[in-house]
């Protein structure tokens, strides 16, 4: 299984970062400020290194070398929060720079199974989260008719097809499901 591609110094943008990460705003301004103070390389919904099934949580890979002092403060604070699940060194326990934070997703905000099946228009249980999405991601979730043109173009480029706008079913989601064009699980292979 191919996983999330990690490059030191570069943030990996995938569907977890686009559609799941905004749910973390429900934990309040302190959480948002603390998390923004560390350098996050990627977000995922699972990690093969700990061989756990996908639960209702988000994995956040942090480059501690870019923010050592802030990271120590954030990890100490995070470990005291109810939504803290786990954290662990990814590359080397003592000399490594990559550290994984595992945070429980807020209850009654998102249906992770619907996310995994690419049902973006149905996955948010709390509609207020939709307002915190980027314009394009919001258009995907609300199935904005103007976004249908962009999606057909993306499908045609990715699959080398010639789908016409009028051939796109009205009930179709306007984004590819996770793990087709982007990866959502950390694997380190």
Name the DSSP class of 12.
P
Q: Identify the pLDDT of residue 50.
A: 79
Ramachandran assignment for 108, one of left (phi > 0), alpha (psi -120 to 50 degrees), beta (any other): left
Q: Where are the alpha helices (DSSP H) in 79-174?
A: 112-116, 135-141, 147-159
Q: Are 104 and 24 in contact (CB under 8 A)?
A: no
Q: Are 172 and 145 in contact (CB under 8 A)?
A: no
Q: Identify the pLDDT of residue 38.
A: 96
Q: Identify the pLDDT of residue 154.
A: 95
Q: What is the pLDDT of residues 83-120, one digit of tens each?
A: 999 999 998 777 789 999 999 999 889 999 999 999 99
Number of Cβ atoms within 10 Å of the Cβ of 99: 19
Q: How far is CA 170 from CA 16, 161, 165, in A?
A: 25, 19, 10
Q: Identify the pLDDT of residue 5.
A: 82
Gap between the Cα atoms of 106 and 22, Å rounded: 11
Q: Are 178 and 118 in contact (CB under 8 A)?
A: yes
Q: Spell out the domain ranges in the chain.
A: 15-132+182-186
Q: Identify the pLDDT of residue 120.
A: 97
The model's pTM:
0.91
Gap between the Cα atoms of 177 and 189, Å rounded: 22
Q: Are 46 and 185 in contact (CB under 8 A)?
A: yes
Q: Identify the pLDDT of residue 72.
A: 94
Mean pLDDT in runs of 10 for the chain (189 residues)?
79 94 95 96 89 83 91 96 95 84 93 93 91 95 96 96 95 90 76
């Amino acid at each position: 299984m191919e996983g999330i591609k990690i490059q030191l110094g570069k943030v990996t943008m995938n569907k977890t970062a686009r559609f799941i990460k905004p749910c973390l705003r429900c934990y309040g301004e302190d959480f948002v400020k603390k998390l923004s103070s560390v350098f996050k390389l990627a977000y995922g919904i699972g990690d093969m290194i700990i061989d756990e099934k996908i639960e209702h949580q988000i994995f956040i890979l942090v480059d501690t070398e870019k923010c050592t002092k802030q990271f120590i403060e954030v990890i100490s604070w995070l470990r005291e929060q109810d939504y803290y699940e786990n954290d662990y060194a990814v590359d080397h326990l003592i000399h490594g720079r990559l550290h994984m934070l595992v945070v429980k997703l807020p209850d009654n905000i998102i249906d992770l199974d619907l996310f995994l099946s690419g049902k973006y228009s149905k996955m948010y249980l709390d509609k207020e989260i939709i307002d915190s999405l980027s314009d394009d991601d919001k258009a995907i979730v609300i199935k904005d008719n103007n976004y249908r043109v962009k999606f057909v173009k993306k499908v045609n480029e990715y699959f080398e097809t010639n789908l016409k706008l009028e051939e796109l079913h009205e009930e179709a989601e306007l984004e590819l499901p996770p793990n087709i064009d982007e990866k959502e699980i950390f694997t380190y292979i």
